[in-house]
């Protein structure tokens, strides 16, 4: 049985690539997903590299999959120290 990552769950991952519109994070074995720049922090960022670097360990929440099966992730909903989900007010 091949396990699949579950929507709504939090995973520990590693930043593998930073681009203008976000960061690709490897999690759940060989799976990669995109953390859009708007999902990195609760404030507006000039560029994802302002707060992230390749190889950095991060916690991500799996938001879901787009219509092409690409993985959508978020960091701003997860306490990056503990890996626990933040209260909804803190994440907005």
pLDDT digits (tens, 9 = 90+) for 28-67: 988 999 999 999 999 999 999 999 999 999 999 999 999 9
Catalogue all structural domains in the chain, each as residue range(s) with its CATH number.
10-91 (2.40.50.140)
Task: Give residue 80's pLDDT.
Answer: 97
Task: Give residue 47's pLDDT.
Answer: 97
Q: What mean pLDDT comes out for the span 70-90?
A: 91
Contacts of 25 (CB under 8 A, 6+ apart): 13, 14, 15, 16, 32, 33, 34, 35, 58, 60, 73
Helix (H) or strand (E) holding 7, with range, is none
Q: What is the pTM of this model?
A: 0.90
Task: Give residue 89's pLDDT.
Answer: 58
Considering the chain, what percentage of its residues have pLDDT values greater than 70?
92
Task: Report DSSP state, residue 1.
Answer: -
């Amino acid at each position: 049985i091949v396990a699949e990552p579950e929507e709504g769950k939090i995973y520990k991952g590693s930043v593998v690539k930073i681009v203008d519109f976000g960061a690709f994070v490897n999690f759940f074995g060989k799976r990669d997903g995109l953390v859009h720049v708007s999902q990195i922090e609760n404030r507006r960022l000039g560029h994802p590299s302002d707060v992230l670097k390749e190889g950095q360990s991060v916690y991500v929440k799996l938001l879901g999959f787009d219509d092409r099966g690409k993985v959508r992730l978020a960091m701003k909903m997860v306490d990056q120290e503990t890996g626990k989900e933040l209260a909804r007010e803190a994440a907005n």
